[in-house]
Amino acid sequence: MTARPAPGDALAAAYSRCAGAAGGSWHSYLTLHGDTVLAEDADAVVVAASVQKVAIAAAVLTEVDRGRLALTDTVELTADLVAEGTGTLHLQAGYGDRLTVAHLLVALVNGSDNTAVRLLGRLLPGPRINDFLAAQGFRHTRVRPLATDERRFYLGTTTARETYALLDRLAAGTLLSAAGSRALLRAMRWAQPGYCDGVRRHMSSTQRQRVAVKHGADEDCRHEVGVVFGPDGAPAATFVFLADRLPEPDDYGGTHPAVRAHAQLGRHLLDAVGG
């Protein structure tokens, strides 16, 4: 009888197959029950796209923990702050709402709302977000403030290793307060609505709630990062899949080769931790 490969070895083999079939350049980090399964080109500095929104949310919640912001603080949604692309705030027929920090955080990480980035920037400018990231020991994870207005910024850059460290600390409860950790992970785990084209695609609704995810897409980049929780509710696997130089840059749906790869890997991840 042929021995079944260990879960970590099986995951590494599945990753090699899926990433190879998708093409492009992959920069990844994956652990299972605290053991490193793979670290591929994990220190390459890449366009962060919307996975950077987790770092922005963590910076905002740190300000809340320190009493410099409150979840009930509000900012006005004006037409000049509306950003097209992902999210729903830009779909409104009119503006003038006053939105709370709590509302914007959910829109940021669950709906990946680009307008929420601009609104939170009015409360926490890009340089202060970068100060938070530097204080956490990250060298390459940075937003990029505009020279003309530091409260407006691009999502910037990161590495697979630094994104992994941020997620690992978030899941362990060492990045934020207990309340901040719960709020951020709850928004990332919620799947109705929520991003389900990738890692969570081949899962039941209940299983999807066990996976905290954030995806990002920009031109030839397709990223997905997150934490898979075991049946006991404890974090069991942390994954960072950053990929660029991919084919089919105009396909932002579930048919993109890298997104299909994420979907296959998600099922392997869930099975490895006890699906």
Question: What phi, psi does 104 have (nearest 5°)?
Answer: -65, -35
The pLDDT assigned to 7 comes to 86
In tens digits, the chain (275 residues) has pLDDT values of: 555 678 889 999 999 999 999 999 999 999 999 999 999 999 999 999 999 999 999 999 999 999 999 999 999 999 999 998 888 899 899 999 999 999 999 999 999 999 999 999 999 999 999 999 999 999 999 999 999 998 999 999 999 999 999 999 999 999 999 999 999 999 999 998 899 999 999 999 999 999 999 999 999 999 999 999 999 999 999 999 999 999 999 999 999 999 999 999 999 999 999 86
What is the predicted pLDDT for the residue at 174?
97
Q: Is residue 178 part of a domain?
A: yes
Question: What pLDDT shows up at residue 120?
Answer: 98
* CA dist., res. 105 & res. 198, Å (int): 22
The verdict on residue 256 lying in a domain is: yes
| Number of domains comprising the chain | 1
Does residue 1 sit within a domain?
Answer: no
The per-residue pLDDT for 2 is: 58
Question: Which range marks the domain in which residue 27 is found?
Answer: 7-273
pLDDT at 193: 85
- Model pLDDT, residue 6: 84
Residue 150 has a pLDDT of 87
Residue 2 lies inside a defined structural domain of this protein: no
The pLDDT assigned to 224 comes to: 98
pLDDT in tens, 191-200: 988 999 999 9
pLDDT at residue 4, as a whole number? 66
Task: Look at residue 32 and tell me if it is in a domain.
Answer: yes
Per-position DSSP letters for the chain, written without gaps between them: -PPPPPHHHHHHHHHHHHHHHH-SEEEEEEEETTEEEEEESTT--EE-GGGHHHHHHHHHHHHHHTTSS-TT-EEE--GGG---SSSSGGG-S----EEEHHHHHHHHHTS--HHHHHHHHHHS-HHHHHHHHHHTT-SS-EEEEETTEEEEEEEEEE-HHHHHHHHHHHHHT-SS-HHHHHHHHHHHH--SSS--SSTTTTS-HHHHTTEEEEEEEETTEEEEEEEEE-TTSSEEEEEEEEEES-S-TT--STTSHHHHHHHHHHHHHHHHH--
Indicate which CATH number applies to the domain containing 151.
3.40.710.10
Q: pTM for this structure?
A: 0.95
Contact at 8 Å (CB) between 166 and 88? no
Residue 151 in any domain: the answer is: yes
Residue 143 belongs to a domain = yes
- Asked whether 164 and 202 are in contact (CB, 8 A), the reply is no
What is the per-residue pLDDT for 87?
Answer: 87
